[in-house]
Each structure stands twice: as C-alpha cells, then as structure tokens.
Amino acid sequence: MARQTRAIINLSALEDNYEAMCAHAPNSKQVVVVKANAYGNGAVEVAKKLDAKASMFAVAFLDEVFELREAGIESPILVLQGPHEEHECELTKHLNVVWMLHLEQQLNWVNKRIENGELTDDRHWVKFDTGMHRLGLPCAEYDELAKAYPHIFSANTVITTHLARADEPEIDDALTRTQSFLTLMANRHQHFSIANSAGNIALPSAALDYNRMGISLYGSSPFENKQIVPNLKTVMTLESQVIAIREIDEGEAVGYGATWVAKRASRIATVALGYADGYPRHAPSGTPAYFDGHIAKLVGRVSMDMLTFDVTDLDTVEVGTRVELWGEKLNINDVAKFVGTIAYELMTRVSARVPRVYR
C-alpha cells in the first residue's frame, strides 16, 4: 500500500481568494507573497496561477527568486529583506527584482548604482520602522537619510512599513501608526505600501498603492477575533490514512512516554503522518482530526511518521479510512489554536516529503 499522505492544494480557491482580497481594495495593486514556498502551498504553482493577475510577487530573500525564474515566472519580484550582500545588487535587472531596503548600508549600495547609471530609481522600495522594531529605518532619521542618499528617495519610490498589530483591528494601534506614518511622509512621497492581508481587510486607510498579501490568499483568516469573518476559501487540505487499528484495555497507554492512558477500553487508529511531515510534535492529546464525517482526538505523543487517535466512538473507521488533519472539513485555525500556534506556522512547516497535489 502506497502512503496516502498528501497536501491537496485547491488553486481555484486560491484564485477566488485573490479576487476577494482585490475587492476589498480595488484601487490598490496587489503583491502576492510567495515566500517560504508560498506558505507551504508551492511557490511555483501559486505564482503560475496568479501570474496574469498579480502586479508582482514577493519573497523574503534572493534565493527564493531563482526557483520562480527557472519556472518561467516573469513578473517583478519584491525581495522583502533587500540584498543581504552587495554583490546581489548586480542581479537586479537580470532577475527583475525590486528590493525592499531597510538598512542604511543597502541604501548606499543602491544609491551609488543609480548614480553611476547601473540601476534606475524604480528598482527599490524603502522600509521604515513604525513600531514593530524588526526591520526598517527609523522614521526620525528621514531627513538625514534623504540628504545622504538622494537617488533613493525619488518621486518613484514606494515608501513602506509593516504593522505589528494589523490583525487586531479592535484596538487602534495599527490605525494610529498608519496615520502618523502617512502624516510624516505625505509631503515627501506619493507611493505607499502598508497593508498585509489583515490590513487589507480591516484597515482601509492602510490599503494604498500596493498591498502585500499572503495568508488570506492561502485561505486562512489572519484574525483571532472570530467576529471578523473574511470571505476566504480553504486552499490546503492535509490528508492521510489509517494504517492500523487496535483495541486496548482500560489503563493501557498509547505512544512514546505513555503520556495518554485509556480511561475505558478504547479503539486506537494509527495514521500515516508525523512530525517529519510537519505535523507539530507538541500537538497535545485532544487535538482534532476529521475522520469520515466525524472528529476524533489525538492521543499520545506525535511520532516522526505516525499519529494515534481515539476512534472508540467511530465504528466506521478502519484501515484505509481517509483522515483530514486540517483543510476543507476542519479549519486550520481551529487546529492551530489547539496546538498553540497559528495557521502560518502549520502551513509553512508541511515538509518536502509530503507530496503536493494540485486541483
């Protein structure tokens, strides 16, 4: 029996999500974020599906560009961390990349290339730090930087920032920071990119020239707040299969370390997927999975290649029964919450050993 473990990727749901997100901000151009293999969904397939529609793609660093170019994707690609080393700048035109510059050293590398005619002034964006304190130039140094690197701050330049709390629109943090950032920059620049998925949905004042959208396209709500229900369709369904069933007595334990002990005579289903496939090892007993129309609970520790579930109350489960770990029948955000993480992490960690099947 071949292992029936796979991630089914619904590309038409992806396209519908893209359209739904565009409808939120019809005056913005859309940057499709495909870093980390498109959050585990497959960067090449995602980019191919949206190539005709998206303005540009975005990845974290240069290495992620090559795979897309080799696959024939031609749209510009925004590199969110900018060049890590100066020599990467030499590839700007050849790879058709746009750098998001966040460090003074990067301003210098690009400024001197514009000065000597090697680059035009539309191959970079500039990122400022508005309180996330991770990447970005200090807003207070704007005047000094603009003076030192005049070619960087041109009329074409897209000025950008990333909001730490856009996914919590119920508090005003993201709104306040957007407003003060725009107030500071308004007399100086005309082109802006602020919103990620959450901003695009819940913070219209942040949806400007370009929005950078990741998680929403892959079908997961960026909001913890269940009152905000964006119109998104599931893209990834992670599925596997029962490969063994056993009956155990009350008092018997399951799995490494005997962390789960049966409180009654129980029926245990072993499923062909484990932490080597990217299922989180710290998922606790009780984490749900979907079996044949019903939810069953994980029992015992997650192994490298297997999971065990209590199916005592599910008579129809047998060797060969299909199991959905998350996806169309079981919302990934619900599983993430149980595991103490977010959908971003669950999706991106589905490992290379899991075949992606595109529908």
Ligand X SMILES: *Cc1c(COP(=O)(O)O)cnc(C)c1O
What interhelical angle do 11-24 and 43-50 show, nearest 10?
60
Report the alpha-carbon distance of residue 39 to residue 43 in Å, rounded.
8
> In whole angstroms, how close is the CB of 216 to ligand X at the nearest point?
6
Segments in 128-239 forming alpha helices (H): 142-148, 173-185, 197-202
Task: Tell me the window of 69-77, 194-202, 309-317, 318-326 that interacts with ligand X (CB under 6 A).
Answer: 194-202
| Amino acid in position 323 | V
Contacting range for ligand X; rule: CB under 6 A; set: 207-215, 235-243, 259-267, 317-325: 207-215
Instruction: Give me the phi and psi of 102, to 5 degrees please.
Output: -135, 0
Per annotation, catalytic residue among 93, 233, 256, 337: 256
Q: Which two tokens stand for residue 359?
A: 């529908």
CB of 211 to ligand X, least distance (A): 8
Farthest-apart Cα atoms in the chain, separation:
78
Applying CB under 6 A, does 301 fall inside the site for ligand X?
no
Decide if 267 contacts 238 (C-beta within 8 A). no
Binding mask of the shown chain, residues 124 to 163, with x at each position contacting ligand X by CB under 6 A: --------------------------------------x-
Distances (CA, A) of 185 to 182, 194, 214, 292: 5, 12, 26, 55
Among 75, 111, 157, 196, binds ligand X (CB under 6 A): 196
**Measured distance CA(63)–CA(26) in Å, rounded:** 32
282-303 burial by CB neighbour count: b if 16+ within 10 A, else e? ebbbebbbbbbeeebebbbbbb
3-state SS class at 143? helix
Q: Which stretch binds ligand X (CB under 6 A): 208-216, 245-253, 284-292, 309-317?
A: 208-216
Any contact of residue 212 with ligand X (CB under 6 A)?
yes
Q: Which residues pair with 296 in a beta bridge?
A: 289
Does 222 help bind ligand X (rule: CB under 6 A)?
A: yes
C-beta of 45 vs 129, nearer to ligand X? 129
With binding defined as CB under 6 A, does residue 208 bind ligand X?
Answer: no
Is residue 35 part of the annotated active site? The answer reads yes
Q: Is 194 in the site for ligand X (CB under 6 A)?
A: no
> φ and ψ at 204, to 5 degrees?
-55, -30
* Least distance to ligand X, CB of residue 338, Å: 21
Q: Which stretch binds ligand X (CB under 6 A): 9-17, 196-204, 310-318, 323-331?
A: 196-204
Structure token digits, residue 193: 């990119």
Q: Check 35, 149, 290, 344 and give the catalytic one.
A: 35
Q: What are phi and psi of 184, to 5 degrees?
A: -65, -40
214 makes contact with ligand X (CB under 6 A): yes
Of 114 and 350, the one with the shorter C-beta distance to ligand X is 350
Binding letters toward ligand X, positions 25-44, x by CB under 6 A = --------x-x---------
Tell me 134's DSSP state: S
User: Which of 30, 111, 197, 237 is close enough to bind ligand X by CB under 6 A?
Assistant: 197
Q: With contacts defined by CB under 6 A, how many residues of the chain interact with ligand X?
A: 13
Active-site positions read 35, 256
Question: Where on the chain is the footprint of ligand X (CB under 6 A)?
Answer: 33, 35, 80, 162, 196-198, 212-216, 222
